[in-house]
Structure 1
Amino acid sequence: MLLIYVKTLTPRINYTFKQVCANILGYEIGFTSKIEEFVAHEGMKLSYGKQKMGNEFFIQEAGLLNEQGFSDVDLKFYSWDKTTCFFKVSERSDIPYDIFSASFYLLSRYEEYLPHVKDDFGRYPFEESIGYKHDFLEQPVVDLWAYKFNTLLCERFSKDNSVKRKFQNKNVLAVSEAYKYRKKGLVRSIGASLRDFFKLDVSDLIERFKVLFFITKDPYDIYDGLVKESKQNHYKWHFLFQLSNYSINSKNVSYNKIKYHTLIKSMGDYGEIGLLPGYEALYSFATLKLEKKRWESIVNRPLSFVGSYNFDLNLPTLYNNFDKLEIEQDFSMSYAEAVGFRAGTCTSFLYYDINFERISPLVLEPVVFNSNCIKHHTFFELKTQLEKIKEDVEKVGGSLNILMNNKDFDDWNKERKYLNLITYLNEK
């Protein structure tokens, strides 16, 4: 067991040490505030405070984990063995940085609680993040720091604690619009056809009629092909289906359509299924609760996971609403327009609410690639970025999670390159 001495065990210390030492490194850990117990401990031990006590491994605290609420923290960034780190401490510390304060800063999304300008979609812009500004957005720095810390800790106590994690993937498909033309209803189909006619959009008009008259397949109906592809290459999907009311932000088929219900339940035979909350549900608890109820009435079991594809996380309100509805898992932790680790980690972690200094049971799954990025980068750029990221994630036995949309494969042959990229990312 790794015994950790702290003067006061705060919720932040409890949360961060459990994530880094237990969840990432696999240690059984214990905390003590009794000096006698700490000194008498004969195994691995670490003190976290202002001063070193004896021959233990010592990390000097920067103070963030003993604070409450949030304030504008003055951060200075330094290089540390091919990574970037912050919260530098004195030379008395066995590590030159308080990696636990730095980890908490990223995992809690501390910077998103501070005043910031949102983008055109109301999202926290990736350009505002310290990861982007200091060029470590594409590194799972929390995991890399943890592994460096583990190496030094094992050297101090002549132990061999090789971390026993294995590289894994979670592939998520967001279905915000199940069909491009089918199942939209007579009024919507006529209205859309007239719009195409008056805009002289001949190609869409022809495509719409071919689909509606069963001459060609709906471009967004890629489900059978995707299942076949994933079976051939031995990987699975998590499917997120939207059940919102029709609005300017939701153009999906009606949640009442029996064919849509059939699609949702059939995908449950090939992977896990969850809810893609609509735009209004991200800001309204009542709407989110209604969409959850719709999902559960279709699937006939409790909703366990959700994810947001294109819109803001609305921290901390959205995650607190997930908590109230007893949702267990979330796949929203990504930037819609940038590849990288929004929370600085490739390991699932619990949501920490800074407003109430509370550790939530909601598990957050970091997503490194949101396919909205396709609009802002070339395929070569994305492939190069993801290949390098995969190397880093494999080194720390993390999870490489990607979030796609069924619309990404509307031209199956054209998008073959993205299917091949997904297959590569899933190779162990």
Structure 2
Amino acid sequence: MPGTLWHSPAALAWLQTILRERFGHAFVLQAQPDGSGMTLRLPDDARCISLALDGATFTRADSDLPCTLWDAAAEGWQPALPGALPAPGAAQLPTPLITPADNGWHIGYDILGLTYWMLTRQEEVGRTDLDNHGRFPAVHSHAYKHGYLERPVVDEWLHVLGQVITRTWPGIALKQHQFSVKVSHDVDVPSRYGFASAKGLLRAMAGDVLKRGDIKNALRAPWIRLNTRDALHPSDPFNTFEWIMDLSDQHGLTSAFYFICGRTSAMDADYEPEHPAIRALMRRIHERGHEIGLHPSYGTYQKTELIAQEAQRLRAVLAEENIQQAEMGGRMHYLRWEQPTTLRAWADAGMDYDSTLGYADRPGFRCGTCFEYPAFDPVAGEALKLRVRPLVVMECSVMDACYMGLGTREAAQMKFMQLKNACVGGRGCFTVLWHNSWLNTKNKSIYSDLC
């Protein structure tokens, strides 16, 4: 399903915003009338950078694009990360790639087209090769097929563009970014036993004994269930919220906790946001200066009106508890996403940001970046009043047997650190999803190293 031309007026205005946020200057973008190239200028300055313009490749909604590599260092440019830089969409590149031109420089690769294609997730529009949860999987993506999923390829190319900008306008200072970490926690199961039905409680107790050999917790389960009325029980193994906030406070981080506020499937939570214990948890999170957000239920990702209803339900609970926040964001349950349907649903619900866009089956850079950015609908061809906060890694993606299956072994720790270091190299944000229910003793150690 082809999208809007990425160099349409609306798309160019959006890309100008991307460049202003990244470099700190208001550049003007203009496509050549014959479609042969794109120019990047500063207002009232004769100097410019011209870039190749690929008018067809980066409007495609498939993963069969070519890909080649470019050795930046061999041509005198500094790469953000070690190794040759992937160039999605190009079967071959001119040598040298970047050459002096009248009043500036010319770049023989469509960096801005790539930026549009990756950030808008044009690749995913209308796809039918989905997994059993209706998700576009990493293993079908161009990035996975060509080995660059674990590299923020857009950031790497913009790093090169920044160097060309500096050579074109030596007197300007570009915006300097600092590496940061954002941690978030989908509250799928706030309590191991507290909200379970009688049947669910027996199932949990049996699992404790037969699967985990945890007789102690199994014996405590009925007591915990009985005493989860006004607050989560301190002995509940999934009640790790104070530990999470303590760790975040130690590292100067703000934890974001996303709550489910609807029932559309058996895959959803067994609690209601209005429950006194959940209200008490929300008050405590707010008192400690952390964030509360939305985790729309399993069946909402294609239904704009349901996401809006669940957002309003959360807002109502927060208002009743006199909890006020500067912004409201969250993430889809099971990372279910349909582009651009779900994106527009978040915007229509009046949310400030979404942090769904990482893959469930593999960690990495689904959007090719570790920077937050303004949303753009590639079908309607318009910018949306919403921020996209890409998700780099979910703990389950690395550790769970149904995905990479690395468990708590050294290989898992190395994978987490590899992704973190890629964000360090790009001076971006390492975004981590770690569920409160995935924090046993060993997992706590791994999670602590990431903060």
Do these two structures clear the TM 0.5 threshold for a shared fold by scoring above it?
A: yes
Contact 1:245/1:255 (<8 A) preserved: no
Cα distance in structure 2, aligned partners of 1:154 and 1:197: 64
Q: Which of 391, 395, 411 is the matching residue for 2:425?
A: 395
After superposition, the C-alpha distances for 1:117-165 in whole angstroms (9 at most, x for unaligned) are 1112221110111111111111111111011111123223434534311
1:213 aligns with 2:223: yes
After superposition, the C-alpha distances for 1:257-299 in whole angstroms (9 at most, x for unaligned) are 1111111221122311101111022233333232212211111
Q: What residue in structure 2 maps to residue 84 of structure 1?
A: 86
In the superposition, the TM-score normalised over structure 1's length comes to 0.82
> Where in structure 2 are the equivalents of 1:158-169 lying within 5 Å?
158-159=170-171, 161-169=173-181
**SS at the partner of 1:224?**
helix
Aligned length: 396
Seen in structure 2, the aligned counterparts of structure 1 residues 225 and 151 have a Cα distance that, compared at 3 Å, is same
Seen in structure 2, the aligned counterparts of structure 1 residues 34 and 283 have a Cα distance that, compared at 3 Å, is closer
Q: Which of 361, 367, 371 is the matching residue for 1:343?
A: 367
**SS at the partner of 1:332?**
coil
Shift of 1:199: 12
Q: What residue in structure 1 maps to residue 254 of structure 2?
A: 236
Shift of 1:383: 2.6
Q: What residue in structure 2 maps to residue 25 of structure 1?
A: 23
Seen in structure 2, the aligned counterparts of structure 1 residues 74 and 420 have a Cα distance that, compared at 3 Å, is closer
Shift of 1:40: 11
Seen in structure 2, the aligned counterparts of structure 1 residues 381 and 14 have a Cα distance that, compared at 3 Å, is farther
Seen in structure 2, the aligned counterparts of structure 1 residues 329 and 126 have a Cα distance that, compared at 3 Å, is same
Contact 1:179/1:252 (<8 A) preserved: no
After superposition, the C-alpha distances for 1:7-54 in whole angstroms (9 at most, x for unaligned) are x862222222431x212222222356899xx999663743xxxxxxxx
Cα distance in structure 1, aligned partners of 2:66 and 2:330: 36
1:171 aligns with 2:183: yes
Q: What residue in structure 2 maps to residue 16 of structure 1?
A: 15
Q: Which of 280, 296, 306 is the matching residue for 1:262?
A: 280
Seen in structure 2, the aligned counterparts of structure 1 residues 177 and 246 have a Cα distance that, compared at 3 Å, is farther
> Where in structure 2 are the equivalents of 1:353-372 lying within 5 Å?
353-372=377-396
Q: Percent of aligned pairs with the same residue? A: 18
Q: What residue in structure 2 maps to residue 422 of structure 1?
A: 450
Seen in structure 2, the aligned counterparts of structure 1 residues 73 and 123 have a Cα distance that, compared at 3 Å, is closer
Contact 2:416/2:450 (<8 A) preserved: no
Q: What residue in structure 1 maps to residue 150 of structure 2?
A: 138
1:129 aligns with 2:120: no
Q: Which amino acid aligns with 1:174?
A: D
> Where in structure 2 are the equivalents of 1:174-185 lying within 5 Å?
174-184=186-196
**SS at the partner of 1:145?**
helix
Q: Which amino acid aligns with 2:187?
A: V
- Please list every run of 5 or more consecutive structure 1 residues that lacks an aligned counterpart in the other structure: 1-7, 47-56, 424-428
Q: What residue in structure 2 maps to residue 386 of structure 1?
A: 416
Q: Which amino acid aligns with 1:289?
A: A
Q: What residue in structure 2 maps to residue 285 of structure 1?
A: 304
In the superposition, the TM-score normalised over structure 2's length comes to 0.79
Cα distance in structure 2, aligned partners of 1:383 and 1:73: 30
Q: What residue in structure 2 maps to residue 334 of structure 1?
A: 358
Q: What residue in structure 1 maps to residue 3 of structure 2?
A: none
Q: What residue in structure 2 maps to residue 5 of structure 1?
A: none
Cα distance in structure 1, aligned partners of 2:31 and 2:199: 71
